[in-house]
Amino acid sequence: QKEVEQNSGPLSVPEGAIASLNCTYSDRGSQSFFWYRQYSGKSPELIMSIYSNGDKEDGRFTAQLNKASQYVSLLIRDSQPSDSATYLCAVNPGDDYKLSFGAGTTVTVRA
């Protein structure tokens, strides 16, 4: 079983719609959870971090964490063509800086 699994893509949504990305992780002791956005040919860019159960909102992005279900999600509201990218879920399973990454979900927002 992979440490971090993301819903398989690609995900295509119309402009203005909500894009929903899901991620599950295997290490129950994980403390920190991250969503990165990666444009083609570019380095990952952190868009959300979440550490406690519940929702965290930042602009059009909302991250949701449920440690009991070992589940973290990302919602992108009012999706824009500029949101078209690959989104990587990352989990810090321990007390060092190492991250476990999911394979990524590619999102395409149709104008």
Query: Is 25 near another protein (CB under 8 A)?
Result: no
Among 30, 64, 84, 92, binds another protein (CB under 8 A): 92
- Quickly list DSSP for the chain: --SEEE--S-EEEETTS-EEEEEEES-TT--EEEEEEE-TTS--EEEEEE-SSEEEEETTEEEEEETTTTEEEEEE-S--GGG-EEEEEEEE-SSSS--EE---EEEEEE-
Minimum distance from residue 44 beta carbon to another protein (Å): 5
Q: How far is the CB of 97 from another protein (least distance, A)?
A: 3
- In angstroms, what is the minimal distance from the CB of 99 to another protein? 6
Contact between 29 and another protein per CB under 8 A:
no
Residues that bind another protein (CB under 8 A): 31-32, 34, 36, 41-46, 49, 51, 88, 90, 92, 95-99, 101-104
